Amino acid sequence: MSLSTEELEEIGTAKLVEIETRSSGRVFRTVIWVVVDGEDVFVRSVRGRAGRWFQRALADPEVNLRVGDARFRFTALPAADADSVERTSGALRRKYRKGGSLESMLRDEVLDTTLLLQPMS
């Protein structure tokens, strides 16, 4: 399944979203940044591999993004290949204001936590 142009725009323009991850039957919500590049939705852990939501997404890749009142179901796939990392970094630079928060998302030690969110039907 793919997302509509309107859904991609809704996700892509949201500055902050909540990602829902699961562990031991519990649902956790964490506020994160999200970017859209073309038809692809990417996220990255600002805390690198220490990020709890990231760890949960790797253990159980069925995640949800909550954007306002909308909820989108995805499968989180590791996307640490050079192309995906650069696309994500470029999209972050275009979307978010320069400063410490943006620089934290571009540090070498977090690049390998880039995830591609593949829509689920």
The CATH number of the domain holding residue 113 is 2.30.110.10
Looking at residue 102, its pLDDT comes to 96
Looking at residue 83, its pLDDT comes to 98
Q: Which residues of 87-116 are buried (b: 16+ CB within 10 A; e: fewer)?
A: bbbebbeebeeeeeeeeebeeeebbebbbb
Say what the pTM is: 0.95
Q: Which two tokens stand for residue 111?
A: 């690049």
* Spatial separation of the C-alpha atoms in residues 58 and 63, rounded to whole Å: 10
Domain residue limits at 22:
5-119
Structural domains of the chain, count: 1
Is pLDDT above 80 for 51? yes
Is pLDDT above 90 for 47? yes
pLDDT, tens digit, 9 for 90 and up, residues 62-121: 999 999 999 999 999 999 999 999 999 999 999 998 988 999 999 999 999 999 999 997
Classify 21 as helix, strand or coil.
strand
